[in-house]
Structure 1
Amino acid sequence: MTRPDLVIFDCDGVLVDSETVSNVVLAENLTRHGFPMTAERSMALFVGGTIRGVGDTAREMGARLPDDWVDEIYSEIYAALRAGVDVIAGIPELLDRLDAAGIPYAVGSNGSEEKMEITLGQTGLKPRFGSAIFSAHTLKTAKPEPGLYLAAAAHFGVDPARAVVVEDSATGATAAARAGMRCLGYAPHDDGARLAAVGAEIFDSMFAVPGLIGLGQAAE
């Protein structure tokens, strides 16, 4: 397997285990607004999208949300995330392997920079990415459009075809495909069918990534 010239990570659910926390809060909020929701269904419906898109979808499905709902839910989610999130197992070791191989890496997320400051900041991951953190809120382009990933490639002067994306949502995998990038689809809890359907190569442990990108297998 040829080594890539750049590895781009999604943030939530890939670098940090924030999806579960966020969707518990989201489910409780929507239920409180008269739109019954479980965290599991919220994950199935909304992972990979934007909060504004979540609100639009919920309204289309019959939810009656206040005009300031986006601000409300961000406030609730950020408060929950500040209480603590875990780093996905194997990520520190994977970043160490990339550093040793001289392969740069970046973050491309539909989440806000404020959210990544909370999640990546408290886990110590943020300094490892330096300025290579790309937010849909800042760039005004969100997955499934390829702009975030193309911006990351341009930042490093890398041909998109020489970049690898690590994603956990079909939305993100679609963005990678549209950017002309190979996508590794992280699916630790299911068979990854939705990721595979849009061209992602499925794996279930970050310790497997070095072997998938030509760096040899990492020890767990």
Structure 2
Amino acid sequence: MSDVYLTHLISDCDGVLVDSESVTLFSLLKQLRPYVPADTPLVALIQPRQGQNFETLLTGVFLELGLAPPAPDVCAAIRQGVETDCDRLQRAVPGVLRALAAINMPKAVASNNTGARVRSALERTGMAPLFGGRVFTPDLVGHAKPHPGLYLAAAAAFGVPPGQCLVLEDSVTGVTAAVAAGMTVLGFIGGGHVAAGQEARLKTAGALLVFNDMARLPALVAAVMDTAAV
């Protein structure tokens, strides 16, 4: 038997709990268009960066286009537009509330979004009670993914070694952070924003398994826990 057991669950928010990444992509296409050349292939620039924190994503897109990094007021205006669209359009990932309720593990959220935005999304979708206020974000922790700090902070708050934590992630950025923290990761590709080839990218980043239907999650978690205990 192994000395390490998976006892706690940590989940990303956007794209795993809340199907907001597809809304964010739609909104970013609209918000960025006035700032870039008309023929810019924005989808191809944005999709690989989803999961990064907002300013990093915008700066990366601008620099790849040979433009100066966006000024703070531009970032703020784009963020406001995206947040307005997310408030209006985002929904819980189908089946996620039932799946999480069936998993008897303490749970936390680690997200590159702001604490206020994550808590608002959890409240709107009815998932807040499942996490008991355990939300870890860069504005609270001081680190954003792919740095492992968010995941390490969640494990520390639980009072368990990082190796006892199982993580749900949908982005290479997030998988990279969780793996660097020494955690086991399940990759989710059932959101509306997933680009072709994402399963392979998540596995390359270190995801143990990749799945596309939240109805499968309780059984997958049970199987991974059984494997970890051998």
User: What TM-score do the two structures reach when normalised by structure 2?
Assistant: 0.84
Indicate the larger mover: 6-15 or 50-59: 50-59
Which of 210, 226, 229 is matched with 1:202 structurally? 210
Contact 1:17 1:85 in 2 (8 A): yes
Q: Which residue does 1:21 correspond to in 2?
A: 23
| Deviation for aligned residue 1:144 | 0.8
Q: Which residue does 2:98 correspond to in 1?
A: 93
Identity of aligned residues (%): 33
Which structure 1 residue ranges, 4+ long, deviate > 6 Å from structure 2? none
| Deviation for aligned residue 1:3 | 6.5
Deviation per residue, 1:2-35 (Å, 9 max, x gap): 9621111000000000001111111112211124
Q: Which residue does 2:146 correspond to in 1?
A: 144
Report the Cα distance in structure 1 between the residues aligned to 2:98 and 2:42, rounded to whole angstroms.
30
1:37-76 matches, cutoff 5 A: 40-61=43-64, 62-63=66-67, 65-76=70-81
Which of 207, 211, 216 is matched with 2:219 structurally? 211
Report the Cα distance in structure 1 between the residues aligned to 2:42 and 2:58, rounded to whole angstroms.
15
Report the Cα distance in structure 1 between the residues aligned to 2:74 and 2:6, rounded to whole angstroms.
41
Report the Cα distance in structure 2 between the residues aligned to 1:139 and 1:40, rounded to whole angstroms.
30
Contact 2:101 2:130 in 1 (8 A): no
Report how many residues are paired: 213
Contact 2:31 2:82 in 1 (8 A): no
Cα gap change, 1:35/1:108 in structure 2, threshold over 3 Å: closer, same or farther? Answer: farther
| Deviation for aligned residue 1:67 | 3.5
| Deviation for aligned residue 1:178 | 0.4
Report the Cα distance in structure 1 between the residues aligned to 2:77 and 2:16, rounded to whole angstroms.
25
Cα gap change, 1:121/1:84 in structure 2, threshold over 3 Å: closer, same or farther? Answer: farther
Name the amino acid aligned to 1:142.
Answer: A
Deviation per residue, 1:56-115 (Å, 9 max, x gap): 2122122453441221122111111121311111211122112xx3x1011000001122
Report the Cα distance in structure 2 between the residues aligned to 1:154 and 1:21, rounded to whole angstroms.
32
| Deviation for aligned residue 1:127 | 3.1
Alignment of 1:115 onto 2:117: yes
| Deviation for aligned residue 1:43 | 4.4
